[in-house]
Every structure is written in structure tokens, then in C-alpha cells.
Amino acid sequence: MPGRINRKLAAVLLVLVIFGSLAAVYTLVLPKKGSLVLIGFDPDRAYLDAMALTGFGPRVPGSQAGQESADYVLEGFKKANLSGVVMEDHELTTFQVNSASLSLIVAQLRNPVRKTYTHLTDFVLYEYSGSTGGGIRLEIVDVGNGTEEAFQGVDASGKAVLSTLQCLPRAAEHGARAVLIQNTRLAAQMGYPPYSGGLYGSDANGDSIPYPDAYPNAVVPTCAVSKTVGEQIRSAINNSRHMPVLGTGTVWIEMNFDTTIGKGVIHNVIGDVKGSGSEDIIYIVAHRDCTYINPGAVDNAAGVATIMEMARQLARHQTRCTIRFIATDAEETGLLGATEYVKSHEALVKEHGILCINFDMNDVNLKRVKVLNIESSDANNSRVLEELSGSMMSSHPHFRDRYTVNITKGGGGADGGPFMKRGTEGCLAMGQWGSSEEYHTQWDTIDYVNQESWAVGGILLGSLALRLAS
């Protein structure tokens, strides 16, 4: 008798363990007829994907880490049982940072004062910054916010300029040989660190192209500096003297930026939940690349990990139209991966694309905010999203107590833009501004992510995709 009781107890415990583990996977089991269908989502499994992606290091387009991360997603799509999994390569102008140094020099009667700044903490290079070709020393002048009006009356020719906003190619047109951009607006809680930004241009059709292709005569050394560094430089400029004998001021910037700009290969990774009955396609997109200064956890390993988990969940369903997953490359350098995809599949996107769902920084840091923003370009999709959100919050009261879903008009931001330009409706999932102040700084690491929040957007937009595809 005791042995039989123990066996029964062991069986009960086993059942509890199984159901306990399933509780960690946010899903709604087969709903009643007429109710909304919510897909499942395992945030811990998605977190493992994000850890793997960040483990490759900065996934710069054209780099070894970029290739390795593309291979990882390719295998992930295959394991998720997507069909037609393929990697599409595109050759275009890419950018690599090899090394960088920056110093402020203030001339005095005897010994000059030198302030050397720390790369990544005090300054970071902009995408497609030119190389200095060795160490150079330039007089620096202040051009305010860098508008055309701000340049009036300032002799920038042959000098470096300090601006509070990105001002290329204008600065180069005024003869500037280098640009420093001071952060005065972002991440006050972090002390306004330097933010790596993107430089890019557009072709005759308005599609994004690499900056050097658009402005070959305006590629100059360009970096972002923290608010503190910018204030130090501006103070030195304001207190500078003119040296009549030399015909120059007394404040210089010494820099040595070693960058490589040349042809490289970017990789878009694609896989389908193949439909059976319609040629229409729903695109689910997240960019895989990041800046050179961090492993890109929130921006955008979170987004890629989200769509990889959605692929595993949606591959279990039979659909009428195809759901196509794309992990794009080179978003940070101008939405180049998404642009190359739509240009390579122009007719397909225009004739059969019905929705592009884009995940970019869809992480919600609950220590700062609680809102996940979802933009939608289509009123009917917005209405369905509202219904699905209500159903999800009822099914997952834990979400209801911790998160707010804000559904607004839009959807064409980031990699969704090239698709919407071809007539495809759009949805964009992104955490509320202020949630992820580490993005584009050296601190965008796996330590700051909240993988539970990825399930909110993953379930909601995955369920919308399933509804439309079915």
C-alpha cells in the first residue's frame, strides 16, 4: 500500500511539473469557436536566441560577426520548420571602424593643454565616418545646431566643426574637414552619452543608398561626443584667442580615425510558413545588424529573437496565404537590407504584399516605462489589434498588470518603410521612447533586456498575422 501511494504521488507531482513548465510559455490553448486565436510564445527560448546573437559581438554589416549571426538565424529558421529557407546576399558599400582617438588641445603661452578622450565612453564614430589617414590636427569652430543659418558668418573651411545636430553633407559643402556632434537631447539619466548615428542618402527613386554613394565628395571624419565633452570643447572655443602670427585660433582637435569604406556583402535571411490557397504574403521583419560599439541586445537582437520564436509558433499552423520571415541586414546604415529585398522582389511585394510587421527595439524596460507602442497603417488591422489586445490581457492577467499596449497610426518606420512605399500595409512594434536609453551606446547589452516583454508584441502581432493568413 505505501508503495502504491508513493507511485500515485509521484505521478501527481510529474503532472504538476509538466503543467508548471507549460505555464512559462504564454499561450492560449485552442479557443472556442468564434473566439480570437492567440499564438503561443516562449520568452525564455527567445532569450537564448538573443544571447547567442549578442555573443557574436557587434553584428556590423559585412563583418564576420554579421555572417555568423546570419548563419545562426538561417539554422534557426530551418529548425522552426519554415520552408524555402534561404540567405540572400547583396554587395554594397559597407563601413568598418578599426580604431579611433580624439583629443582637445588648447594653446597657451608655454605648454599647450591636452585633454584626451576615451573611445566609446566620450566619443563614438558615426556610420560611414571618413578616415583621417593618420593623425591630423584641426582648428575647431562652433556652428550651433548645424543648420544653414548657423553656418552663416562662420569660417569652417579647413576646420573641424562642433554641432548639436547632424549636419552632413552641409558641413563638407562649407569646407569643414571634420564634424563633431554633441548629444544634448538623449538619455539624460545616463548623462547624455555619445550616440552612434547613421549617415545615408537616397537614389533617384527615393530608396536609401549608402552615404558615400550619395555624397562621395562629402565623406569626412565624423563622430558623436557626450554632452560633457561638447561643453568642454565649446567652453574652450568661447575662451579662445586669435594668434595673428599664425593666423589661427588657439583651440584644436587632434584625431586619428582609421575606418574602412568599401564593397562588402550583407545578408538577408528568409523563411516561410507556406500558404496553400493564396499568393498573398504577410512579411514579419526584424533587422539583425547593430552598430560597431555594442552587441545590440535591445537594438535589435530582441526583435530578431522575437520573430524567431514567432516562426516556431506559426509554423505549427496551416495558413491560406504565406507568412514570410525576414531577418534583414544593414538597417543601421540606412535600411539597406530591407531596401535591397524589396528592390530584388519588386513585383512580388507590390502585387502580393498585404502587411509588413516590423519588430525594432520591442523591449520594454519596466524600471522606466510600461508601454509597448504598436503603429498600424490600416484601420481594420488596428481594430483587430485592439480586440486581440483585450483577449490577450484577459488570457494573461500578468501582462495586464504590468504592460500597456498603445496602438497608434503609423507603421512605416525603420525596415517597414521600403515595404509600405510599395503599397504594403505596415505595423511596427517598438518600446516607448525612454525604455531603452542604452541603444546606440556601448551599454546595449543582454543585461538590460526584459524578454517577458517580447511576448506581448510577439503574441499580439503573431495572432494578427495568423488571423489574416487564415
The pLDDT of residue 29: 38
The pLDDT of residue 250: 86
Same-domain pairing of 327 and 463: yes
Same-domain pairing of 74 and 160: no
The number of domains in the chain is 2
Find out whether 397 and 464 touch, Cβ atoms under 8 Å.
Answer: no
Whether 212 shows a pLDDT value over 60: the answer reads: yes
Q: Which of 304, 413, 346, 279 is nearest to 80 (CA)?
A: 304
Same-domain pairing of 246 and 386: no
Q: What are phi and psi of 189, to 5 degrees?
A: -65, -25
Give the residue numbers spanning the domain of 314.
33-92+262-469
pLDDT one-digit tens code per residue, 375-401:
999 999 999 999 999 999 999 999 999
Give the confidence band of 433 by pLDDT, cuts at 50, 70, 90. Answer: confident
Same-domain pairing of 220 and 320: no
23 inside domain: no
Same-domain pairing of 170 and 247: yes
Given the DSSP bridges, would you call strands 113-117 and 83-106 parallel, antiparallel or unpaired? antiparallel
Distance CA 108, CA 113 (A): 7
201 membership: H or E segment, kind and range: strand 200-202
Find out whether 192 and 227 touch, Cβ atoms under 8 Å.
Answer: yes
Residue type, 391: S
pLDDT one-digit tens code per residue, 284-320:
999 999 999 999 999 999 999 999 999 999 999 999 9
Whether 19 shows a pLDDT value over 50: the answer reads: no
Neighbouring C-beta atoms of residue 330, cutoff 10 Å: 34
7 inside domain: no
Least confident of 265-269, 385-389, 400-404, 431-435: 431-435
The pLDDT of residue 109: 67
Partner residues linked to 404 by β-bridges: 371
DSSP three-state, residue 329: coil
Grid coordinates representing 461?
502581432
Same-domain pairing of 266 and 197: no
Grid coordinates representing 411?
507603421
Least confident of 217-221, 383-387, 437-441: 437-441
* DSSP 8-state class, residue 26: B
Same-domain pairing of 84 and 101: no
Predicted TM-score (pTM) of the model is: 0.91
Same-domain pairing of 140 and 222: yes
Same-domain pairing of 165 and 196: yes
- CATH at 194: 3.50.30.30
Mean pLDDT of the chain: 91
Whether 179 shows a pLDDT value over 50: the answer reads: yes
15 inside domain: no
Distance CA 124, CA 115 (A): 16
DSSP three-state, residue 359: strand
Q: Taking the mean position of all CA atoms in its chain, how far away is CA 429?
A: 12
- CATH at 372: 3.40.630.10
DSSP three-state, residue 244: coil
Distance CA 360, CA 73 (A): 16
350 inside domain: yes
Whether 5 shows a pLDDT value over 90: the answer reads: no
Same-domain pairing of 413 and 305: yes
Whether 234 shows a pLDDT value over 70: the answer reads: yes
Which of 261, 294, 318 is the endpoint of a domain? 261
Partner residues linked to 94 by β-bridges: 262
Beta strands in 226-280 (DSSP E): 242-243, 248-249, 251-273
Find out whether 112 and 106 touch, Cβ atoms under 8 Å.
Answer: yes
CA distances from 448 to 299, 301, 340, 363, 365 (A): 11, 12, 31, 9, 8
Same-domain pairing of 122 and 269: no
Same-domain pairing of 75 and 203: no
8 inside domain: no
Residue type, 133: G
